[in-house]
Each structure stands twice: as structure tokens, then as C-alpha cells.
Amino acid sequence: MENQELIKSVTEKAQGWLSPAYDEETRKEVQRMLDNEDKTDLIEAFYKDLEFGTGGLRGIMGVGSNRMNIYTVGAATQGLSNYLNKNFKDLKQISVVVGHDCRNNSRLFAEISANIFSANGIKVYLFEDMRPTPEMSFAIRHLGCQSGIILTASHNPKEYNGYKAYWDDGAQVLAPHDKGIIEEVNKVTSASDIKFEGNKELIEIIGENVDSVYLDQVKTVSIDPEVILRNKDMKIVYTPIHGTGMMLIPRALKQWGFENVHTVPEQMVKSGDFPTVVSPNPENAEALTMAVNLAKSLDADLVMASDPDADRVGIACKNDKGEWVLMNGNQTCLMYLYYIITQYTKLGKMTGKEFVVKTIVTTELIKEIANRNNIEMFDCYTGFKWIAREIRLNEGKKKYIGGGEESYGFLAEDFVRDKDAVSACCLIAEVAAWARDNGKTLYELLQDIYLEYGFSKECAINIVKPGKSGAEEIKAMMDNYRANPLKELAGSPVVCVKDFKTLKMTDGEGNVSDLEMPDTSNVLQYFSADGSKVSVRPSGTEPKIKFYIEVKELMHSRADYDAANKRADEKIELVKKSLGL
């Protein structure tokens, strides 16, 4: 009975897409789904509306209310336009920046969005071609705009596209604007509500005029140019994995003084099909295969890869056996902050007002480094908009010197308000040059950080549950963890449980206290007596539930690194059993 009701509901919704407000190609595809005896495609395309959430839109491209297409993108832009016109009604001219990545349809969606903004009387600065997400964030502030959007699905598979909305501080929208925009988007119920006819006089194409200013600003992130000068011949291999990084990152590295940069030719080809990788995600070893192979042939020192919208960076370096190994996002974040703090201290740049930021699922070693160096550290929710919020709240009072998250994002500056692979690639190259200057490899630098601050190992597990049934399974898993809290992690008793949905923290004795956070979030955290940490959260942008495991081990020397790693791996397997995975 329930299935028949669902088919009836999606059929009614789909029939609304047969009106003349939708183009002929869309109407034909909707009719094909309606006529098909197998209703799977129809249900997946229409069982819900692609939700404009606090992170914007993200979904599979195709026809239907639950897909990324000109109508769902159009509704988002119309709703955002309506909100901007209400919120900034006293401004003589409201303006926005529109950017996009290399994905299929990204340029189309960007141009359609530009037309809709301009049709609503809003001035548009439209990038001439694909550009990194951080540059779009920079442009909002640089051009004095009230908002901006970027068409990207970040590192998702090629079937996906997405739409991220930003506010006048260059950060992704937060309360109260996120909910205000969502309300306006939800009021757009039909294609006939969307103003598709653009006003060309209100659309200005931008490119090099912003690129050069942004790159000059990125250059200011360099802490020790002399170190680069002494190591300018260091061999670096870089790949943009077919994405926006190719537009600026090789140029930025050259501007910083690195003279021996090699790109992966096959991946310097702009393509939304990502033909050389299974997934364009620098978190996956496979995505760096071609870059590592090139590095082997060149006997390079460092490999770097940015994702399609160039906000994340993955790196690889040689270990003590000369083998190429990938660093995870926690490790790169550690190295960035260790370098920044060490160099700022050495150069006498510390004023006592510096602060760093990490997300709650990122390694606790960052807190250890900050505490020992008397630097304030803020813990925030996953997502760079929360790091940007800390920057905004402390602006003019304290100095932001870096922030990152385990998912390969880092930001060393405050003139951008999103993670930035352009500056991060340049900065990790400087860190490698500094290590080399001190007779170390990056790998040895990481080992030395562990020796000084303690060894930890992290493991992220993503369980994908697509579609309507998947969403229900994920909810049931979270409900079960709340109803039956974990008592131990790998045999070590749980001494603290944090539930960010209720904003309550429970200690080992059962005492409950409040968590101070700006909002609730569907995240559970468990901390055990031996320093292990587990975080569980459904993804806000993909059909998956994520588990973040961190375990501590003893490491007495560089020679002990492999043994500590092995013991940590064994402990992680036991933690998985505790979680029922």
C-alpha cells in the first residue's frame, strides 16, 4: 500500500513537470519515466525535492525535483535573489560573484544563475571560465559583494554537481541567513516562478583582474621566502585531477619561487568526466597514482593533488625506505600548524593573540600542540563555514594563523573564508623546503612531531547508503547508537560521550553537562580512558554515514614509528568491533 501511495505521489509531482514552463527535452524525459512500467527512475527523480540545505545543493544530475538541473538550480538562485533583495533592500546595487568548476553542466548552471540574478536586478561578476572555490570566496570580499555562489560538487563522482551559497564575508552562509534563504527557495514551487531572462547589462565577466590580486595575496602567506630560495630546485609534482587547480596552482608555486614544478600532462586536461581516475578525490590513493608514477620517474621530493574545485589538497612523500606514501588530512593539518607556530615563534611574530581552529572530528594532537605553545584553539563543527565563523567572531581582536579539518582542507589566511588548496599547496611546499633545509624529509618531520607531541593514528570509514531506504537505514543506525551508548572502545572504558544533537555531555560517572556550540548537529562522540576518540555523523552532502576513529600509541624514536603504526592498526580493528562494524 505504501509503495502505491509513493508512486501516486511521485506521478502527480512529475506531471507538474509536463507544463510548458519546462523545456521540451525535460518534458520528454519526464514522460518516458511516467510511461515506464518500472517506476524506480521516477521514484528516485521525484520522491523528494533536492533539498537546499545549509550547504546549498548537491545531487546527481538529471531530470526531476531530486536532481541537479536548470530548474532546481534556477529555484535555488531565484530564492537566493529574493532573499538578497529583501535583506539588502536599502543598497543602491546588490552584487554577487558566480563561479564554477570543471564539471559537466557547471558552466551552463553558472550562466543560467547569472541570468536569474541579473533578471532580479542584481549585479553579477561572472568568472570567464572555471576557477577555484577559494578564489570565488576571495572575490566576494575583494569586490564588496553581498553574496556569491560556486557550481561544484567538490570531489564527488562525475555524476554529481552542486551549488554552494556564500555571504558577504566570503564564507558559506550560516544562521540566520541559511534558514532565511531556505525559506525563500522553498517558496519557488514551479519553473514559472523563476526569472530566466537575464539582463546582460548587469553581468560583468571577470578573470585575470581578480586572479592577479588573489595570487598576490596568496604570496603573503609565505612565512620564510629565504627557505624557498635555498630550496628552489626541489622537485615537485602537481596534478589538478582535471579541475580548477590548473588555472592557478602552478602559477602560484612559481610566484612563491619554486622553479622545478612538474604537472601531470594527462590530468592538466579540463574534463568533467575525470577520465584518468575512478573518483577525483585526493583522499583516495588511486587519484594520485599518475602523479606518484611521474614522481618516481623524476625522483621528485613531493607530490600534490587538488580536487576539482581546488579547495582540498592531498600530498605524498617518500618514507625512510624510499617508498611513496600518502599523508592523510590529519597529518597534513598537523604539519601546517606545527610549521606556522614554530616559524612564527622563531621569527618573533607571536603577539599572544594568535589562535587556530580545527573541527571536532580532526586529530586531538592539534589541541596538544596549541596548548603547549600557549595558543588558543577553537573546536568547531565539520565544514569550513564553521572555521570561517570563528575567524569572523575574532576579527579585530585576535589573529587567525591557521585552521583545518581531517578531510584534506586547510586555510592559512583570512582573506579567503573557505579551505584553499592554492595557498595550501604553496605552503606545504614551503614546509617541505624547510624540512629539507633542516636535513629532514617531510616524512621525518611528521615522525618528529609525533615524538614531541605523542603518536596518534586516524581512520575514517564511510558507509554509503543511497536513496530513500538508505536515508532510513542511516537514521536507524544513529538512533541505535543513542539508545545503546558504547561502553568501551577496544576494551578501554568510555569516559565521555558528547551528543551534539542534544548538546549534552555525559562523563563516565553519568554526570551530564551542557556543550557550548552555536547550533545542534547530528554528531555523536565517544572518548575512552586510553585517549581513543570515535565520532559518528551522517554526511550533510552525500548518502553516507561517517565514522572517524582516532587511537593513541607510544612511540619512543623514529625507528619505533612502524611498530607504533602496527599497534595502532590493531587497536583500530578492535574499535571497529566495539562499533559493530
**Mind telling me the catalytic residues?**
154
Among residues 306, 370, 381, 302, which one has the least CA distance to residue 132? 306
Give me 372's grid cell.
603547549
How many of the other CB atoms lie within 10 Å of CB of 30? 22
Among residues 458, 479, 467, which one has the least CA distance to residue 534? 458
The CA distance from 313 to 428, in Å, is 10
Among residues 109, 102, 20, 13, which one has the least CA distance to residue 65? 13
What percent helix, strand, coil does the chain show, rounded to 5?
45, 20, 35
Q: How far apart are the first and last CA of the chain?
A: 34
| DSSP H or E segment with residue 5 | helix 2-15
The identity of residue 305, as a single letter, is A
**Residue linked to cell 562523563:** 507
Among residues 331, 332, 330, 349, which one has the least CA distance to residue 341? 349
The CA distance from 412 to 566, in Å, is 32
CB 517 within 8 A of CB 503: yes
**Residue linked to cell 529555484:** 75
Q: Which residues are CB-neighbours of 518 under 8 A, at least 6 positions away?
A: 174, 175, 386, 389
Where does 265-353 show beta strands of DSSP type E? 302-306, 313-318, 324-326
DSSP SS3 for 363: coil
DSSP code per residue over 37-49: S--HHHHHHHSS-
Using alpha carbons only, what angle is made at residue 295 by residues 565 and 561, rounded to the nearest 5 degrees?
A: 15
Using alpha carbons only, what angle is made at residue 289 by residues 286 and 293, rounded to the nearest 5 degrees?
A: 165
The CA distance from 127 to 78, in Å, is 20
Among residues 241, 213, 198, which one has the least CA distance to residue 98? 198
Phi, psi of 391 (to 5 degrees): -60, -45
Length in residues, the chain? 581
Give me 345's grid cell.
615563534
Among residues 470, 468, 544, which one has the least CA distance to residue 7? 468
